Structure 1
Amino acid sequence: MDILLKNVRLNDGESLKDVAIEDGRITAIEENMTAIAERVIDADGRVLIPGFIESHLHLDKALIADRKPNNSGTLKEAISVTAELKPTFTKEDIYDRAKRTLDMIIPNGVTAIRTHSEFDPAQGFTGFEIVLKLKEEYKNLVDIQVVAFPQEGIIKSPGTEEMMNQAMEMGADVVGGIPYNDSDAEKHIDIVFKIAKKYNKPVDIHAEFSDEATDMSIEYLCKKTIAEGYQGKVSVGHLTALHALPKAELDPIIAKMAEAGISVMALTATDLHLGARNDEYNVRRAVTPIRKLRDGGVNMCIATNNIRNAFTPYGNGDILQTAMLTIPVGHLGGANDLKTVLPMITENPAKAIGLVDYGIAVGNKADVVLLDTKIKGNAIIDIPTRLFVIKNGKVTVESTKETIIHR
């Protein structure tokens, strides 16, 4: 075999296992294996998990915070600052920034990314083409899904619908949408589904990015998803407005979302930074109600969204840190809650973005990460070094950590 991982911890309270990898697949999971491998890695009881999934990202807008700051920290200024900067983006610029961002993310154990890549009649496909290029260049290190994302709207930006179709022909994997930034949210959603059905692709929507629960389209999205037979093929990011709803109004929406099989990507770092900027006291978190959605049967995920731009002026590509931030923000630190967080950056987003053969099981793809912790329950709160990242059965990242304490 190619790789034999010895003495790994797959679950707390269980005996250590050996995991055999050959031809990019997990071929055996047993105790005390004696098989010969080209490379043997002794984990000494450390935790092995499936690769992290970064399920909502914007590679084409990363690393621009230093060019023009968002001084107010508001969504309105973030949009205006980015709109002012976008005409200055060249293909070379986007390629350099997106590549540096990928090189930040991959060593942190991410083996799959869904990135929203925008275009419009004014800027054309400048960034979109670069992201497609990087998808191919990085295919041995990370799987990249590209979302055709109409940031400036579809209806209010004539020519965008045609570009959406063209983007799908060019190789986009997912049809994106942003109904709250268009002149008719329901018609916007209708167009997105029309394109998705034409190309048999999933849908990923920027939804209800607001402090207040007004002018929402999530209920229409649920109805449309069910009517079109798209259960399990629709995801939404942000969904912050739901935090402002009382239980009597929120519960029916959550039930309908669960029925529609809509996954939610909580974008904690961005939404904390931009949300509730006008609150003078009792400042709200302005993050989607993660626990309530989870408890209502909605597939909950945690993702980064932006790295160092006007929407999120920080971040280092470590999704574990985003998950750690989400624990106190979402009241996920209780014993029963904490164990639900790791799945929000592994198996839940894998389900949301439609990955197949994912997870540590015989026959699945060998996309795994060895963490420098011996307790799976501490996999996030330790923020452990990712000692080995294995993608498609090959070691892609090795890290060492040595600390000397002088007493």
Structure 2
Amino acid sequence: MPPPNLSEKLASIRGVRLANSSSTWDISFDYPPDSPHGIIKSITPHDTHSSSQRTSQPALALPSLTHPHIHLDKAFIHNEPRNAHRLPLTGSFQEALSLTAAAKQDFTLPDLLRRGEWLLAESVSAGVTAMRAFVEVDHTVGLKCVEAAVTLKKQWHNACEMQIVCFAQDPIFSTDYGDENTRLMEQALEKYPQIDVIGTTPYVETSLEAAKKNIDWAVDRALQLDKHLDFHLDYHLDTEKEALMWYVLNTLIQRGWNTHSTRNQVMLGHCTRMTLFTSSEWQKLAQLIHTHDVPVSFVGLPTSDLYMASPPHQPDTQHLARGTLQIPELIRRYGLDGVLGMNNLGNAFTPWGSADPLQLACLGVGVYQAGTRTDTELLYECVSTRARAAIGLAELEQSLMLWEGQEANLVLFCDRDETGCGVSRPRGSVAETVWDPPGRLARDVVFCGRLGISGLAGPRDAMYRFLP
């Protein structure tokens, strides 16, 4: 499956609406000779008198979407016929580890490329122009998952900016395979300069001591190699277990990881144990991060967390609590940086959900009871501008308004009939797109100033002007 066809360079998009504006605007683009990326040159009021009679509502132009945390190699395992006997029976975390470990034994490069293309195609068509993609390195898969990611990153570079995470899902300081897994991680980091991020899962180690060694190794190697850092952390709801969050933060501080010493970001994912923190613990955590200026972002992964993150089994009760980071509260109450990610798709860790980040923002309305217009704008930021900044691809921008000099990565929500009944229901605001996201056929995606050509979107659309 080839990447999507892209248009010629856009000169302008005319007569669109922007976030928090009822007026219509024209967006023009520029292409600096020293950069492969198109940028927004100007945003000016649209002259409605010079336009032909419009029969549909103007498209809504917003910043494009981002996957800040998604597993490329494990996507859509359930769609492979060879894994028909590896479907969940209990839904437990240990079962997901076991089923996925078995499926990994059958991974081949063609299989990884095919499923990776499914993920990329469905993501890009939804409006995703950047993603942080985890690929595993261990004694079972060797380096083949990284090899697949490097191939896909090159093939799809005109449609999506991919960050590759060299990821240790398995232990690297315990079990019979720890030494081999560490050796393979080091080999991958040496062989593939395309790797952008080092990621590990400290909680899979068999002891607290090994988990802390895991953290030490990852922090040190990321600093030495000038990479971003990404931990799967504290993925449980057990108050008897020590939260590794404190050790991670103290290690980062001791090693001198702050915004003055490095531009690289630290991402902490899942962290469901933190949902049991008291208010004073949260305040202590926020003060630690702010005082030492540590560039830490938290990524909530609600589709996985709500499915899997539950407290230790209690047979005498019907109440089964679930935990996922309260991202809006982290941002508003404690001034922390938080975003939302898809995590897994179509496997035992997360057998439900789609590759559309906007559906995740929609889920957040219910999960966080965040249904006001202001809430929806924050949720959109968490799968868009905030997410892009959190993975180190942009400066943190607190607004969904477009601005001059911004990279030309947009998604336009168009008034198109998706029902086949000759009826369309437009989405004229951020709130309307988050409350009930329109389908992919109503979305046009612009990457670096070029329009992705789909079945309905194309140069024939009157609002687009192209360079000669």
Q: Same fold (TM over 0.5)?
A: yes
Tell me which amino acid in the other structure corresponds to 2:71: H
Task: Find out whether 1:30 has 2:64 as its counterpart.
Answer: no
Question: 1:159 is paired with a residue of what secondary structure?
Answer: helix
**What residue number does 1:389 align with?**
445
Aligned equivalents of 1:281, 1:400: Cα separation in 2: 49
Q: Answer with 143-152 or 364-373: which moved more.
A: 364-373
Question: For residues 321 and 283 of structure 2, what CA distance do their matches in structure 1 show?
Answer: 20
Distance of 2:26 and 2:450 partners within structure 1: 17
Counterpart in 2 of 1:328? 366
What are the within-5 Å matches in structure 2 for residues 8-407 of structure 1?
8-13=16-21, 15-23=23-31, 24-32=38-46, 44-65=57-78, 67=83, 68-156=86-174, 157-169=178-190, 170=192, 171-182=194-205, 183=207, 184-213=210-239, 214-231=241-258, 233-259=265-291, 260-276=294-310, 278=313, 280-294=317-331, 295-356=333-394, 360-372=402-414, 373-385=427-439, 386-398=442-454, 400=456
Q: Secondary structure at the match of 1:61?
A: coil
State whether residues 107 and 397 of structure 1, in contact with CA within 8 Å, keep that contact through their aligned partners in structure 2: no
* Gap runs ≥5 in structure 2: 1-8, 32-37, 49-53, 260-264, 415-426, 458-468
Give the total of aligned pairs: 396
Q: 1:253 aligns to what SS in structure 2?
A: helix
Give 1:340's aligned amino acid: L
* Aligned residues of 1:387 and 1:400 also touching (Cα < 8 A): no
Secondary structure at the aligned position of 1:241 is classed as helix
Distance 1:116 1:346 in 2: 19
1:404 aligned residue = none
DSSP 3-state at the match of 2:27: strand
CA contact (8 A) 1:388 1:399 kept: no
* 1:118-155 CA-partner distances (Å, limit 9, x unpaired): 01133211111101110110000100000010110221
Q: Which amino acid aligns with 2:201?
A: I
Note the C-alpha offset of 1:345: 0.6
Question: 1:61 corresponds to which letter in structure 2?
Answer: K
1:332 alignment partner AA = A
Structure 2: how far apart are the matches of 1:167 and 1:347?
30
Decide whether the 8 Å contact of 2:126 with 2:443 is kept in 1: no
Distance 1:43 1:53 in 2: 28
CA contact (8 A) 1:12 1:377 kept: no
User: CA distance change for structure 1 residues 301 and 399 in 2, over 3 Å: closer, same or farther?
Assistant: farther
The separation in 2 between residues aligned to 1:258 and 1:80, in whole angstroms, is 39
Instruction: Provide TM-score, normalisation by structure 2.
Output: 0.79
Which stretch of structure 1 is more off in the superposition, 388-397 or 220-229? 220-229
Structure 1 residues 320 and 228, CA gap change in structure 2 (3 angstroms): same
Which residue type is aligned with residue 243 of structure 1? T
Shift of 1:22: 3.4
The answer for the alignment partner of 2:3 in structure 1 is none
Question: How far did residue 2 of structure 1 move?
Answer: 2.7
Q: Which amino acid aligns with 2:147?
A: E
- For 2:274 and 2:372, the matched residues in 1 are separated by 23
SS at match of 2:68: strand
The answer on whether the counterparts of 1:7 and 1:43 sit within 8 Å (CA) in structure 2 is no
The residue that corresponds to 1:4 in the other structure is 12
AA of the residue aligned to 2:284 = P
Deviation at 1:272, TM superposition (A): 0.6
Identical aligned pairs, as a percentage? 27
Unpaired segments ≥5 residues, structure 1: 35-40, 402-407
Counterpart code for 2:389: K
Letter in 1 for 2:410: V
Change (3 A) 1:33 1:231: farther
Contact between 1:8 and 1:43, CA under 8 Å: does it hold in 2? no
By how many angstroms is 1:316 displaced? 2.4
Q: What secondary structure sits across from 1:29 in the alignment?
A: strand
CA–CA distance in 2 between the matches of 1:43 and 1:129?
Answer: 46
Residue 42 of structure 1, CA deviation: 11
SS at match of 2:249: helix
Alpha-carbon distance between aligned partners in 1 of 2:318 and 2:290, rounded to the nearest angstrom: 34
